[in-house]
Chains A and B, each alone.
Chain A
Amino acid sequence: MKSERFGPWLAMVLGTLYFVVPLIATFEFSLRKRRGVYSFDAYASVFSDSRFIESFGYSTFIALLTIVVGVLLVVPTAYVIRLRMPRMRPIVEFITLLPLVIPAIVIVFGYLRLYNSSSFLPLTGTARSTDLLLVFAYVVLAMPYMYRAVDTGLRAIDVKTLTEAAESLGASWWTILFKVILPNVRVAVLSGAFLTFAIVIGEFTIASLLNRPAFGPYLQLVGANSAYEPSALAVIAFVVTWACMGLIQLFGSGIRGSSAAPR
């Protein structure tokens, strides 16, 4: 019996060590700024840097916009595909997977060619329109996660019958979408939203090449010029990501009444 359990435990311990040891090492290193003693000086230095607050604030704002645009784009699309065009699902799934296949650098070079200041749609012409372009780019980057999260949520409810029930009660498409469907996939939408947030906060390539003051380029800048602060930032980035994951878990298990399965 004991030998049967040893294998799985060994695998789990090795896996945990693989992830945890580098993290502990990074954290330990981030505490060594003051010679001879552990301190949070590196963290104090990071938090006192106005560029940290600015870039983090900027990325948070862009992430929230990305979530709003992503939800407005993905939820109705996934709903219509599931309800009215199920045959299109493989095609849409393929399209939503493309951002995982095409590197971000290819996407951003495509954008720069297509939307440069002398093009028919000069989105890189001003800072605000470039922000908009950045949001669109992040919507694309987050699409594989957002679409899958929402699609999984829709799979858990009887979309067709709920839609028909609402229609028979006189509801319009908008009412059905926002009063019936969206509330019932909110856990899935929140999962997608937190994943989107985590992606946007750490993204470097697109923000850097579009020359926007985002958190990713700031991380790179600090990493190139300091010793201990990058480790502190890496730990902060991990905490932010874990907070997002924790919120997914919290909302995933905490919200009742979001499953359509009859008992």
Chain B
Amino acid sequence: MAFLDISSVRKVYGQNVVVQDFNLAVERGEFVSFLGPSGCGKTTTLRMVAGFEQPTAGTIRIGGKDVTYLPPNQRNIGMVFQAYALFPNMTVADNIGFGLKVAKKPAAEIGPRVKEMLELIKLPHLADRYPYQLSGGQQQRVALARAIANKPQVLLLDEPLSALDAKIRVSLREEIRTLQKALGITTIFVTHDQEEALSMSDRIVVMSEGRMEQVGDPFDIYNYPKTRFVAGFVGTLNTLKARVLDPGAGKLSIDGQEAVTSRPLNGSPADSIRTVALRPEAVALGERVNGGNGLSGTIEEVGFLGSVVRIKVRLGENAISLDTFNSSSVTPPKRGDTVSIAFTRDDLLVLEDNDAH
């Protein structure tokens, strides 16, 4: 049995179904991210695991124990909030030691543990400071130390990096992951930032409108998105309407030009319309190579993004954006140029939802 088991969980507010049919088994020491846009139910699900919300239906088990209706203060969880939530009246050391004091641990145990936590977050010199004397990144590290000081069974992180600036966010996410791995603590991380989820997680649960769209490791989620939503939410994606020519051979027609996919077409009949997708980085300017796909079109836009140049090629009804690395020695094509583009059969994704809109 999984260490954290969320089974058939559903949450309804009045007429509004916020989370439905949520099933997830998290192994001990695993780092799982809930990824999705605002209002997709990811935070509500996390709050149900924490005990701040009660499920309308379903069960939550931690370490084999049913905690569905257990109050938060009896669950032995650690939680880090977006707004840090450090106690303003307490010093850094007192904040970290709060959970230990509440658990009535002896002072001889609390002191060394707090010191250990301060060393772990590399802030031993700030033990006597108050939260208002710390930067956002420092506050969140203290919040993390406070959450893990009491050795919780599960660590819950509710968008902990959202309030921080970009550089701190990147360094702190690496720190969190390193700490989590070192301590082997089962962790759930809620985020709407795909880069965070992809870089930190063992597994990602992509959510939309209260449903689990896809569960998988970062590589699978990015490279093999099952639905149009997942493909669109995780990374930038070109979605194209394609007519099925030969389902067995994976042959499709995109604006009258033939393309082949190695992905199964799942019994789509010939002449049906399917949604296919291409990552911008999977498409290159140039002729097809070794049995790959080649299409031609007209350049509609050229966007300079620093290290990358994003080029939009109009095929007909469909348009494809592709990324090329910026190089001072290569002049990017201009608007109106006719170009050939190439991509492999593997890169032409077929999405599950057959709604070619």
**Are B102 and A170 in contact, with the CB atoms below 8 A?**
yes
In the complex the two chains form, what is the Cα distance from A184 to B72 in whole Å? 22
Q: Using Cβ atoms and an 8 Å threshold, which residues of chain A touch B99? A: 169-170
| Residue picked from A158, A161, A262, most chain B C-beta under 10 Å | A262
> Of all chain A residues, which has the CB nearest B81?
A161
A262 and B84 in contact, given A165-B79, A168-B77 (Cβ under 8 angstroms): yes
A119 on the interface (CB 8 Å rule)?
Answer: no
Q: Using Cβ atoms and an 8 Å threshold, which residues of chain A touch B50? A: 164, 168
**Are A262 and B131 in contact, with the CB atoms below 8 A?**
yes
In the complex the two chains form, what is the Cα distance from A158 to B84 in whole Å? 10
**Are A158 and B130 in contact, with the CB atoms below 8 A?**
no
**Are A256 and B87 in contact, with the CB atoms below 8 A?**
no
**Are A164 and B136 in contact, with the CB atoms below 8 A?**
no
Q: Using Cβ atoms and an 8 Å threshold, which residues of chain B touch A258? A: 88-89
**Are A256 and B72 in contact, with the CB atoms below 8 A?**
no
**Are A168 and B102 in contact, with the CB atoms below 8 A?**
no
Complex partner residue of B89 from A158, A175, A184, A261, CB under 8 angstroms? A184
Complex partner residue of B163 from A179, A186, A262, CB under 8 angstroms? A262
Q: Using Cβ atoms and an 8 Å threshold, which residues of chain A touch B130? A: 256-257
B57-81 residues with Cβ-Cβ distance < 8 A to A are 71-79, 81
> Of all chain A residues, which has the CB nearest B75?
A168
Interface residues on A, range: 20 to 34
> Of all chain B residues, which has the CB nearest A180?
B87
A184 and B88 in contact, given A164-B52, A167-B71 (Cβ under 8 angstroms): yes
Complex partner residue of A168 from B78, B86, B131, B132, CB under 8 angstroms? B78
A199 on the interface (CB 8 Å rule)?
Answer: no
A162 and B102 in contact, given A168-B72, A170-B150 (Cβ under 8 angstroms): no
**Are A175 and B102 in contact, with the CB atoms below 8 A?**
yes
Q: Using Cβ atoms and an 8 Å threshold, which residues of chain B touch A170? A: 73-74, 76, 99, 102-103, 150
A167-193 residues with Cβ-Cβ distance < 8 A to B are 167-172, 175, 179-180, 183-184, 186
> Of all chain B residues, which has the CB nearest A182?
B89
**Are A169 and B150 in contact, with the CB atoms below 8 A?**
yes
**Are B139 and A169 in contact, with the CB atoms below 8 A?**
no
**Are A256 and B73 in contact, with the CB atoms below 8 A?**
no
**Are B88 and A259 in contact, with the CB atoms below 8 A?**
yes
In the complex the two chains form, what is the Cα distance from A186 to B90 in whole Å? 13
B135 on the interface (CB 8 Å rule)?
Answer: yes
In the complex the two chains form, what is the Cα distance from A260 to B87 in whole Å? 7
B343 on the interface (CB 8 Å rule)?
Answer: no
In the complex the two chains form, what is the Cα distance from A168 to B143 in whole Å? 12
B98 on the interface (CB 8 Å rule)?
Answer: yes
**Are B88 and A260 in contact, with the CB atoms below 8 A?**
yes
A165 and B136 in contact, given A170-B99, A170-B103 (Cβ under 8 angstroms): no
Interface residues on B, range: 35 or more
A260 to chain B, nearest CB (A): 5
In the complex the two chains form, what is the Cα distance from A157 to B76 in whole Å? 25
A263 on the interface (CB 8 Å rule)?
Answer: yes
> Of all chain B residues, which has the CB nearest A167?
B72
In the complex the two chains form, what is the Cα distance from A263 to B136 in whole Å? 7
In the complex the two chains form, what is the Cα distance from A186 to B83 in whole Å? 22
In the complex the two chains form, what is the Cα distance from A186 to B87 in whole Å? 14
A166 and B81 in contact, given A256-B132, A257-B131 (Cβ under 8 angstroms): no
Q: Using Cβ atoms and an 8 Å threshold, which residues of chain B touch A262? A: 83-84, 131-132, 136, 139, 163
In the complex the two chains form, what is the Cα distance from A167 to B84 in whole Å? 14
In the complex the two chains form, what is the Cα distance from A162 to B357 in whole Å? 45
B85 on the interface (CB 8 Å rule)?
Answer: yes
**Are B72 and A257 in contact, with the CB atoms below 8 A?**
no
B32 on the interface (CB 8 Å rule)?
Answer: no
**Are B132 and A259 in contact, with the CB atoms below 8 A?**
yes
**Are A165 and B89 in contact, with the CB atoms below 8 A?**
no
Q: Using Cβ atoms and an 8 Å threshold, which residues of chain B touch A175? A: 102
In the complex the two chains form, what is the Cα distance from A162 to B132 in whole Å? 15
Q: Using Cβ atoms and an 8 Å threshold, which residues of chain B touch A261? A: 132
> Of all chain B residues, which has the CB nearest A171?
B102
Q: Using Cβ atoms and an 8 Å threshold, which residues of chain B touch A161? A: 81, 83, 85
B114-146 residues with Cβ-Cβ distance < 8 A to A are 130-132, 134-136, 139, 143, 146
In the complex the two chains form, what is the Cα distance from A146 to B88 in whole Å? 22
B9 to chain A, nearest CB (A): 19
B212 on the interface (CB 8 Å rule)?
Answer: no
Given A169-B102, A262-B131, 19 extra CB contacts under 8 A:
A161-B81, A162-B87, A164-B72, A165-B81, A165-B146, A166-B87, A167-B73, A168-B72, A168-B73, A168-B75, A168-B77, A168-B79, A169-B146, A169-B150, A170-B99, A171-B102, A257-B131, A259-B88, A263-B135
The residues of B with any CB-CB pair to A shorter than 8 Å are: 50-52, 71-79, 81, 83-90, 98-99, 102-103, 130-132, 134-136, 139, 143, 146-147, 150, 156, 163
The 9 closest A-B pairs by CB, nearest first: A169-B99, A165-B85, A168-B79, A183-B89, A257-B130, A167-B72, A161-B85, A260-B88, A170-B102
26 A-B residue pairings within 8 Å (CB atoms): A162-B87, A164-B50, A164-B79, A164-B85, A165-B81, A168-B72, A168-B75, A168-B78, A169-B73, A169-B98, A169-B150, A170-B150, A171-B73, A172-B73, A172-B102, A175-B102, A179-B98, A184-B89, A186-B89, A257-B88, A258-B89, A260-B88, A262-B136, A262-B139, A263-B132, A263-B136
